[in-house]
Chain A
Amino acid sequence: MATEQVTSSSSKNSSGPSRPAKGITTSSTAEYFAKNLQQVGFSSQTKAVLTTLKEAVDNALDACEEHGIVPEVFVTVEKVGPGSLKNSDQIRIRVEDNGPGIEPDDVPKVFGEYLASSKFGRGRCSRGQQGIGISAATTWAQLTSATGAKIQTKTARMRKAFSATVEVDIKHNRGVLKDKTSIDWEREHGTSVEFLIDGRVQLNGEAGLISYLNGTALVNPHLKLHYKLPELETQTVDRVTQSIPEVPEATEPHPHTMKLGEFIAHSHLFGRVKVKEWLKRGFSRVNEATLKDLTSSGIKSAMLEKSVDAASESDFKDLFMSMQNITLMAPSTKSVLSIGEDSLSKSIKRLGAVDFFAVVSRKPTICDFKPVQVEVAIARLEDRAIEADAPIQVLRFANRVPLQFDKSACAIVQAITSVNWRAYGIAQPRESLPQGPYILAVSIVSPFIKFKNASKETIDASDELVEEIRRALIQAGQKLSKHIRKEVKANELEEKLRHIEQFGPVLVEGLCRLTKASPERKKRAEEGLRKLLGRDAQATEEELLKAHDHLEAQMAREAALVALEDGVPVPVDADEVEAFLEEEYEESPPKKASQKQASQKKTSAASSKVSQKKKVSAKKKK
């Protein structure tokens, strides 16, 4: 038997080389993605529904922001019937926005062509980056329901709306328009996109549609969202701010964030300019002093005077290597877009009834040579239906897009578990997520977020990034702990008061029965006990009032700070605010120290924001 097997396998092998080799073919980008949709978020039926919705909403929001429109988005997800796949439903997903609309010529590119993007590699904090997502959704619809994306769009200068179905020509990576018509649309401008796909709807849980929509509302305070999901009534989430975040202009790449290939490719964008001009114009943090450093490190001045297109590969290599050894300023953080503590504070209240919350916006910083800003919001929900030992709800955001899968490998979750939440009064099993009725939202904004996969589900956990998130979490934890500590204290005191009321009479009754005391004695003893415990009670009550005062002072102080950030006149007496800002609570020394630090930080943050505003207004005057 064994011999036979060997013979047969060897004959197979020997027959191999004798056959003519198959020709190597190239396939289109669309073909690659059509075969690998799982890589871009279509790995399961529930994920397919979520990813389709996500891509459509992302595009709507990006388009509105680009054109300075306050977004209003209508989402409808409904089950139409059974799907063609096993155990699936046919789902209709419709997303309509009041965005600028798309020129009819661009429609097939946007929805039917892979890697056709207005944002690719621009270094801006937009949600979409490569131009893959929405085309993948069209492909999924095409593969499962044999119909592409139905588009209806109108720009401000169009009289009638353009309507068509877009399909992906997979062979050639091209969008194809079908059923083109012009129709009346009462909307001045906007786009509606509708997909009919196979999938399954998951409403609840971390990977559910509700979580996605709530999360999107949280980090987009300027968004007005209407949504209708299967088995649920239509919901409307109002916007809490009218101001559209200013998407900062992209900055040029920093030489230290590049690889040699990218460096050379970058040079081709500049045509015939001198190398020194290319370096100065094409990169951030490169100036005359850098060029001097380059020459002193061995690069010949002639090389810098050369035209870029005349430089050889070895020239670029020398230049690149010398550049890596020169100390340069860290990249600019100007390109980072932030949500802001104020907007987050307002927005977090849209998640449901919240007892109290804390928000922290870290200053933009550099992690792994890329500008990044971390913002954290943590809130305790009034709804205690959640089991006490259930982990807190974590909402992760990258460039204001919720991340809902594969959380354990994510930098955000790693940072959360590394913080000792017990110190802030929140239960936490060892090296796990904390527990309780809390929502913890962490938003990372950066023009260059390092995702672990093309479907943008997990942020790569580099040490520097995890540490930056950790710091933001610690600050938020410290802020929140003030609320929790005071609440615990107030509860304790109230329990003591209750003790006096409950046990006093029972004690005297029992003593009188055992001693067979007369009613007069009983009365005297009751009065005595009341006096006795009354002294305790009085002291207790005083402490309780003090604790309440402290809590109110804290809240007034926060309100005052928010008002200061808004530039609105402070509603309370200015001296009082000063007093709040300088106030020290009578707490244990280490806590006191941390509180002091926090309040100092807050003060400095507030004052720096005020001074920034002053500077801006001064500039405007000029």
Chain B
Amino acid sequence: MVSRGPSSGAGDIPQLSRELCERLLQDLERARRPILYATKCSLDNARYSPKVGYLTPGPKKVATELNVSSVKKMSRAIFMLEILLRNLETGQVNTKRELYYISKGYIKHESSLKPLDFGDQDESDSTIDFICELLECYREEVNCYANDRGGQTYSQHLVVEETMPDGEKAVIDLSKLGTSAFQPKNRPQSLKLSVKKKIDFCLIVESEGTANTLVANGFTKRHNCILIGAQGVPSNAVRGWCKLIQDQLAAPLYFFGDLDAYTLQNIYRTLKAGSAASLIRNSDYSAPDVRFLGVLPEDIKKYDLLDYPVKEKDAQEVRALKKAADALKNDPFFQDKRNKGLAQILRWLLEHKRRCEQQAFFTVDPRDPTMPEKIIVDKIKRGIYV
């Protein structure tokens, strides 16, 4: 087994890959059955410590033995590894979709490779993930990025300095963008942040549209803040960007989203502590300092919010609630004492089977478009968050 620490940089990936291939070849030369071990990326192998702040991989490994059934998977992995290593060598960066089409091109062109053909992008994506699990590296470390999604950022005081691949530097002053947003790239490592004035807080809003509305209503003009739209489940770009803000600006971070089981587990938990599927890369893709501003169950009564019962027949809602019940039993994040407040919200959701949208803040006083802003700021000031 090739073993290395989770954040040991991309430099030794070619070396590790060659070692892996060498070992495979040696086994084959001796007619010995090679076995590959990959980190098990699932909740039952996730560990959580509040001191670390994110989910880390446990000791469980998944063994893949070379046999008639696995020879296809391994052949595909070695084929894709070759493309990725060449990319690392040349500095070429590709998206997952590009890699799918690049490999399709090779395969269609060379008839001997035909058996490797990927039926759809999911198959090539899972091959890339398998390689990352074998090498215990991030997908980004093998120069493979997902398409940019989410993370639209607004601020009157933030200045971003980007080091381009050719070494040249670009400086972006967010106050010059008007109501347009700055979208962080998939490689937050190449960004350096500075502020023109001390930032009081950073607010991450679940809905990109709501973040935009707050800006249009003058939120960023009236407060020394950074406002980010997460656009649903945060992508690696959003997660890395929030981590960068946390590390470089030392400003308090708050998450504002719906009060429902899905938001709490899939969106907020991923942002704060990473996910079980990305155990290997949670260290760089989570912002443990981010707090849950709401919507909180007590807000409903306090601000007279329009909540409503969960549709019992809606399969997605039912699944989210079932997952919430499972999370209380099995998810080390929600089981930890430090996150008792969050676990309590899950329990409240399970017990009351009600939900409340973030947009409910708009109807507290429909005549006042700045009402959501007032409530948010009031909650931050008075410390009404978890």
* A interface list, Cβ under 8 A from B: 496-497, 499-500, 502-515, 517, 521, 524-525, 527-529, 531-533, 536-537, 540
Cα–Cα distance between A194 and B17 once the two chains are bound (Å): 84
Give the residue among B17, B27, B85, B115 with the most A Cβ atoms within 10 A: B115
CB pair B21–A514 under 8 Å, yes or no, is yes
A505 and chain B: residue at smallest CB distance? B112
Cα–Cα distance between A529 and B81 once the two chains are bound (Å): 20
Cα–Cα distance between A507 and B27 once the two chains are bound (Å): 13
A500 and chain B: residue at smallest CB distance? B68
Stretch at the interface among B29-37, B173-181, B375-383: B29-37
CB pair A514–B18 under 8 Å, yes or no, is yes
Q: Beyond A503-B115, A525-B28, list 15 extra A-B contacts (CB 8 Å).
A: A499-B69, A499-B72, A506-B113, A506-B115, A508-B28, A511-B21, A511-B24, A515-B25, A517-B25, A528-B28, A528-B29, A528-B30, A529-B31, A532-B31, A532-B33
Report A-chain residues with C-beta under 8 Å of the C-beta of B21: 511, 514-515
Q: Can you list 14 contacts pairing A with B, beta carbon distance less than 8 Å?
A: A499-B72, A500-B71, A505-B112, A510-B82, A511-B28, A512-B25, A513-B82, A515-B25, A524-B29, A528-B27, A528-B29, A529-B28, A532-B28, A532-B66
Q: Which of B25, B67, B75, B116 contacts A521 (CB 8 A)?
A: B25
Determine whether B79 belongs to the interface, using a CB cutoff of 8 Å to chain A. yes
Determine whether B320 belongs to the interface, using a CB cutoff of 8 Å to chain A. no
Determine whether B63 belongs to the interface, using a CB cutoff of 8 Å to chain A. no
CB pair B31–A521 under 8 Å, yes or no, is no
Determine whether B74 belongs to the interface, using a CB cutoff of 8 Å to chain A. yes
Min CB distance A547 to B, Å, is 16
CB pair B79–A506 under 8 Å, yes or no, is yes
Report A-chain residues with C-beta under 8 Å of the C-beta of B116: 503, 506
B67 and chain A: residue at smallest CB distance? A536
Q: Which of B18, B66, B82, B115 contacts A502 (CB 8 A)?
A: B115
Report B-chain residues with C-beta under 8 Å of the C-beta of A511: 21, 24-25, 28, 78
Determine whether B247 belongs to the interface, using a CB cutoff of 8 Å to chain A. no
Determine whether B22 belongs to the interface, using a CB cutoff of 8 Å to chain A. yes
CB pair B67–A533 under 8 Å, yes or no, is yes
Chain B contacts with A in 24-56, Cβ cutoff 8 A: 24-25, 27-33
CB pair B72–A503 under 8 Å, yes or no, is yes
CB pair B29–A506 under 8 Å, yes or no, is no
Given contacts A506-B113, A506-B116, A499 and B68 within 8 Å (CB-CB): yes
CB pair B17–A514 under 8 Å, yes or no, is yes
Report B-chain residues with C-beta under 8 Å of the C-beta of A507: 71, 74-75, 78
Report B-chain residues with C-beta under 8 Å of the C-beta of A528: 27-32
Q: Which of A497, A503, A527 contacts B75 (CB 8 A)?
A: A503
Report B-chain residues with C-beta under 8 Å of the C-beta of A500: 68, 71
Min CB distance B272 to A, Å, is 39
Min CB distance B364 to A, Å, is 47
Report B-chain residues with C-beta under 8 Å of the C-beta of A508: 25, 28
Cα–Cα distance between A525 and B32 once the two chains are bound (Å): 10
Contact with A along B53-92 (1 / 0, CB 8 A): 0000000000000111101101100110110010000000
Cα–Cα distance between A525 and B31 once the two chains are bound (Å): 7
Cα–Cα distance between A505 and B75 once the two chains are bound (Å): 9
Cα–Cα distance between A207 and B25 once the two chains are bound (Å): 64
A502 and chain B: residue at smallest CB distance? B115
Min CB distance B99 to A, Å, is 16
Given contacts A503-B75, A532-B31, A514 and B113 within 8 Å (CB-CB): no
Report A-chain residues with C-beta under 8 Å of the C-beta of B18: 514-515
Report A-chain residues with C-beta under 8 Å of the C-beta of B85: 514
Cα–Cα distance between A509 and B24 once the two chains are bound (Å): 12
Cα–Cα distance between A416 and B69 once the two chains are bound (Å): 37
* 6 closest cross-chain pairs (CB), A and B: A502-B115, A510-B78, A528-B31, A525-B28, A503-B75, A528-B28
A512 and chain B: residue at smallest CB distance? B25
B74 and chain A: residue at smallest CB distance? A507
A523 and chain B: residue at smallest CB distance? B29
CB pair A521–B68 under 8 Å, yes or no, is no
Min CB distance A203 to B, Å, is 40
Report A-chain residues with C-beta under 8 Å of the C-beta of B74: 503, 507
Give the residue among A497, A511, A517, A540 with the most B Cβ atoms within 10 A: A511
Cα–Cα distance between A509 and B81 once the two chains are bound (Å): 13
Chain B contacts with A in 340-373, Cβ cutoff 8 A: none
CB pair B66–A506 under 8 Å, yes or no, is no
Report A-chain residues with C-beta under 8 Å of the C-beta of B79: 506, 510
Cα–Cα distance between A512 and B21 once the two chains are bound (Å): 8
CB pair A533–B71 under 8 Å, yes or no, is yes
Give the residue among B28, B29, B71 with the most A Cβ atoms within 10 A: B28
Report A-chain residues with C-beta under 8 Å of the C-beta of B22: 515
CB pair A506–B75 under 8 Å, yes or no, is yes
Min CB distance A511 to B, Å, is 5
Min CB distance B124 to A, Å, is 15
Min CB distance A536 to B, Å, is 4
Cα–Cα distance between A510 and B81 once the two chains are bound (Å): 9
Cα–Cα distance between A537 and B116 once the two chains are bound (Å): 20
CB pair B31–A531 under 8 Å, yes or no, is yes
Report A-chain residues with C-beta under 8 Å of the C-beta of B112: 505-506, 509
Cα–Cα distance between A508 and B113 once the two chains are bound (Å): 12
Min CB distance A497 to B, Å, is 8
Q: Which of B24, B31, B32 contacts A527 (CB 8 A)?
A: B31
Min CB distance B162 to A, Å, is 34
CB pair A536–B82 under 8 Å, yes or no, is no
Report A-chain residues with C-beta under 8 Å of the C-beta of B66: 532
A527 and chain B: residue at smallest CB distance? B31
Cα–Cα distance between A509 and B25 once the two chains are bound (Å): 10
Q: Which of A496, A506, A525, A537 contacts B69 (CB 8 A)?
A: A496
Min CB distance B309 to A, Å, is 30
Min CB distance A514 to B, Å, is 4
Min CB distance B271 to A, Å, is 37
Min CB distance B85 to A, Å, is 7
Cα–Cα distance between A525 and B74 once the two chains are bound (Å): 15
Report B-chain residues with C-beta under 8 Å of the C-beta of A529: 28, 31
Min CB distance B204 to A, Å, is 42
Give the residue among B24, B27, B75, B112 with the most A Cβ atoms within 10 A: B75
Contact with A along B183-204 (1 / 0, CB 8 A): 0000000000000000000000
B72 and chain A: residue at smallest CB distance? A503
Give the residue among B25, B30, B67, B116 with the most A Cβ atoms within 10 A: B25
B69 and chain A: residue at smallest CB distance? A496
Contact with A along B109-149 (1 / 0, CB 8 A): 00011011000000000000000000000000000000000
Cα–Cα distance between A525 and B21 once the two chains are bound (Å): 12
CB pair B78–A514 under 8 Å, yes or no, is yes
Min CB distance B213 to A, Å, is 45
